[in-house]
Amino acid sequence: MDSGALNSRERRVAWGLVLVAAAWMIPADSPVKERSTPNCPGVWGELEAVQGRTTRMGCIPRGEDAEPIRGPARWLVGESIDLSQASLETLQILPGIGLRRAQRILRARCSGRLTNLNALLQIHGIGAKTVAGLRGQAFVGEGPVSRKECLGSSTLQP
């Protein structure tokens, strides 16, 4: 095993620390939903992306077109994660969702059983407490389900 590689738990701890640091930088009187801060008179938008994930974001002046922030970076600016589009890695940053639960969510999504947050209760290992912790942080979008991981992927093993 590569000593420089982070395991799943270490990645979650690192993301948790990043989120705590980001939360401290958001002023108490600024609602997170607006994604505005005194340092950003516009909105936060994507500046760079790699493989469909935001890798660099920045302040976009109001009135200019801003690319939406994608992937785990959405969580950093207070936006909810769409469970019908999220990758395996993105699902794992959500509270109470590790590798196994993320894989089970993807399987439910691929089979069409993921219609709303309450549908998570039908997934082995996810209970009411976990679903309650996800409210406001995750949602199931109405758009088409991303089936990229469904087609012959080994990431969906139990």
From 73, 98, 117, give the residue that closes a domain: 73
Cβ atoms of 103 and 126 within 8 Å: the answer is: no
20-75 pLDDT per residue, tens: 666 555 444 433 333 334 466 666 666 666 666 666 666 666 777 766 666 666 65
Residues 90 and 126 in one domain: yes
Residues 61 and 129 in one domain: no
Residues 2 and 60 in one domain: yes
2-16, 49-63, 79-93, 114-128, range with greatest mean pLDDT: 114-128
Residues 53 and 96 in one domain: no
Residues 9 and 68 in one domain: yes
Domain enclosing residue 127, as ranges: 80-158
Q: Answer yes or no: is pLDDT of 115 > 50.
A: yes
Give me the number of domains the chain comprises: 2
From 34, 52, 73, give the residue that closes a domain: 73
pTM above 0.75, yes or no: no
- Please list, in sequence order, all residues whose beta carbon lies within 8 angstroms of the beta carbon of residue 59, skipping any fewer than 6 positions away: 39, 40, 41, 42, 43, 44, 45
